[in-house]
Chains A and B, each alone.
Chain A
Amino acid sequence: MTQPVDTIGREAVAIDMIGVHKWFGEFHVLRDINLRIMRGERAVVCGPSGSGKSTLIRCVNRLEEHQRGRIIVNGTELTANLRHIERVRQDVGMVFQQFNLFPHLTVLENCTLAPMQVRGTSHRHAEEIAMHFLNRVRIPEQANKYPSQLSGGQQQRVAIARALCMNPKIMLFDEPTSALDPEMIKEVLDAMVQLAKDGMTMIVVSHEMGFAREVADQMVFMDGGQIVETNTPKQFFESPQHERTKLFLSQILR
Chain B
Amino acid sequence: MNGAGRSFVLTAAAPVEAPPPAYGTAISRFAASLFATPMNFALTVLSVGMILLIVPPFLNFMIFDATWHGTSRADCLPNAGACWPFIKAKFGQLVYGFYPIDERWRPNLAFALGAALLTPLLIPSAPFKWLNSILFFGVYPVIAFVLLTGGNLDLRNFLLGRLIDWQALAGFGLALGLRWTFWLDFIVSSAALTLIVLIGAILLGASLRTALVSCVTLFASLGAVLLAVDLDFGLRSVETGAWGGFLVTMVVAVTGIVVSLPLGILLALGRRSTLPVVRFLSIVFIEFWRGVPVITVLFFATYMLPLFLPTGVNFDTLLRALVGVALFSAAYMAEVVRGGLQAIPRGQYEAASALGLGYWRTMSTVILPQALALVVPGIVNNFIGLFKDTTLVLIVAIFDLLGQLRASFSDPNWATPVTLYTGFAFAGIVYFVCCFSMSRYALFVERRVNVAGRR
Q: Roughly how many angstroms separate A162 CA and B455 CA in the complex, as a whole number?
A: 19
Interface residue? B358 (CB, 8 A): yes
Interface residue? A80 (CB, 8 A): no
Interface residue? B355 (CB, 8 A): yes
With a cutoff of 8 Å between Cβ atoms, the chain A residues found around residue B455 in the complex are 103, 148
The contact string, 1 if C-beta is below 8 Å from chain A, for chain B 340-375, is 000001011011111111100100011001100100
Interface 9-mer from A90-98, A219-227, A239-247? A90-98
Size class of the contact patch on chain B: 20 to 34
Residue contacts A-B, CB under 8 angstroms, 21 given:
A61-B354, A89-B353, A89-B354, A89-B356, A93-B354, A96-B351, A100-B348, A103-B453, A103-B454, A103-B455, A104-B449, A104-B454, A113-B365, A114-B355, A114-B356, A114-B357, A118-B356, A145-B453, A147-B453, A148-B454, A149-B452
The contact string, 1 if C-beta is below 8 Å from chain A, for chain B 356-400, is 111001000110011001000000000000000000000000000
Q: Which B-chain residue is minimally distant from A82 (CB atoms)? A: B358
With a cutoff of 8 Å between Cβ atoms, the chain A residues found around residue B365 in the complex are 113, 117
Contact B354 A103 (CB under 8 A): no
The contact string, 1 if C-beta is below 8 Å from chain A, for chain B 434-455, is 0000000000000001001111
A118 contact from B351, B361, B373, Cβ within 8 A = B361
20 additional A-B residue pairs with CB within 8 Å, beyond A90-B356, A103-B453, A145-B453 = A61-B353, A92-B354, A93-B354, A96-B350, A100-B348, A100-B351, A102-B352, A103-B370, A103-B454, A104-B449, A114-B355, A114-B357, A118-B356, A118-B358, A146-B452, A147-B453, A148-B454, A148-B455, A163-B355, A166-B356
Q: Roughly how many angstroms separate A138 CA and B341 CA in the complex, as a whole number?
A: 34
A102 contact from B366, B449, B452, Cβ within 8 A = B366
Looking at chain B's contact residues, the main secondary structure is helix
Q: Which A-chain residue is minimally distant from B346 (CB atoms)? A: A100
Q: Roughly how many angstroms separate A145 CA and B453 CA in the complex, as a whole number?
A: 8
Interface residues, chain A, with chain B CB atoms under 8 Å away: 61, 63, 86, 89-90, 92-94, 96, 98, 100-104, 113-114, 117-118, 145-149, 162-163, 166
Are A86 and B354 CB-contacts (below 8 A) given A102-B366, A145-B453, A149-B453?
no
Most chain A CB inside 10 Å of its own CB: which residue of B353, B356, B358, B365: B356
Q: Roughly how many angstroms separate A100 CA and B345 CA in the complex, as a whole number?
A: 9
Question: How close is B155's CB to chain A, nearest CB, in angstroms?
Answer: 39
B357 contact from A61, A103, A117, Cβ within 8 A = A117
Chain B 309-362 residues near chain A, CB threshold 8 A: 345, 347-348, 350-358, 361
Chain B 394-453 residues near chain A, CB threshold 8 A: 449, 452-453
Are A96 and B348 CB-contacts (below 8 A) given A147-B453, A148-B454, A166-B355?
no
Q: Roughly how many angstroms separate A63 CA and B449 CA in the complex, as a whole number?
A: 30
Q: Roughly how many angstroms separate A102 CA and B345 CA in the complex, as a whole number?
A: 11
